[in-house]
């Protein structure tokens, strides 16, 4: 695994703080539903992936990220897209003051960055590129056989 940019290290630390605060809020706060527990634990595992990508440790196998990455991304995309859509509509339609426009646009940007910070490392840790390269090599060997 090649060295990650320092931005990924900072993102890993921030995401760990968000995941830890989410877990602590559920643990010491009001009674949480099963879905809230699952989301919080999923975010904690995603933060482990971002730490692994940013710092190179701990090393979980690529198959973990191939299974978890698409599942978590699929579950995460619906509320994230809904929030971004609502904020974008609010920004476009509602008459807002300059401060409200700036805060809404900032929140839109923050949510987009949050999604990217989680999804990109999980897919890169899944080593999908190497998987497709192996499939291409096997396909070329097969085509050579029939040529």
Residue 130: the pLDDT is 73
Q: Is pLDDT of 144 > 80?
A: no
CB-side neighbour CA atoms (13 Å) of 30:
2
Tell me which of 32-41, 112-121, 125-134, 137-146 is least confident.
Answer: 137-146
Distance CA 114, CA 103 (A): 16
pLDDT in tens, 70-99: 999 888 888 888 999 999 999 999 899 999
Q: Which residue has the higher pLDDT, 38 or 147?
A: 38
pLDDT in tens, 4-28: 788 999 999 999 999 999 999 998 8
Query: Which residues lie below 8 Å from residue 131, measured CB to CB, with a gap of 6+?
Result: 66
Query: Which residues lie below 8 Å from residue 105, measured CB to CB, with a gap of 6+?
Result: 91
pLDDT in tens, 45-78: 999 999 999 998 768 898 999 999 999 988 888 8
Residue whose tokens read 């995460």 = 76
Distance CA 73, CA 41 (A): 14
Distance CA 94, CA 88 (A): 10
pLDDT in tens, 102-118: 999 999 999 999 999 99
Distance CA 143, CA 146 (A): 5
Residue 135: the pLDDT is 67
Question: Domain-by-domain residue ranges, the chain?
Answer: 6-146
Residue 23: the pLDDT is 92
What single DSSP character describes residue 4?
P
Task: Report the predicted TM-score, pTM, of the whole model to 2 decimal places.
Answer: 0.77
Residue 82: the pLDDT is 92
Residue 20: the pLDDT is 94
- Whether the link from the prior residue into 44 is cis, omega within 30° of 0, is no
């Amino acid at each position: 695994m090649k060295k990650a940019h320092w931005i990924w290290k900072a993102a890993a630390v921030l995401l760990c703080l968000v995941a830890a605060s989410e877990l602590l809020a559920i643990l010491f706060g009001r009674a949480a539903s099963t879905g809230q527990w699952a989301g919080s634990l999923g975010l904690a595992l995603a933060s482990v992936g971002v730490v692994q990508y940013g710092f190179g440790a701990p090393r979980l196998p690529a198959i973990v990220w191939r299974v978890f990455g698409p599942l978590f991304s699929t579950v995460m995309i619906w509320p994230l897209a809904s929030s971004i859509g609502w904020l974008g509509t609010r920004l476009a339609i509602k008459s807002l003051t300059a401060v409200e426009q700036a805060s809404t646009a900032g929140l839109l940007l923050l949510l987009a960055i949050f999604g990217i910070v989680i999804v990109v490392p999980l897919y890169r840790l899944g080593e999908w590129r190497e998987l497709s390269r192996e499939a291409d090599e096997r396909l070329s060997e097969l085509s050579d056989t029939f040529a």
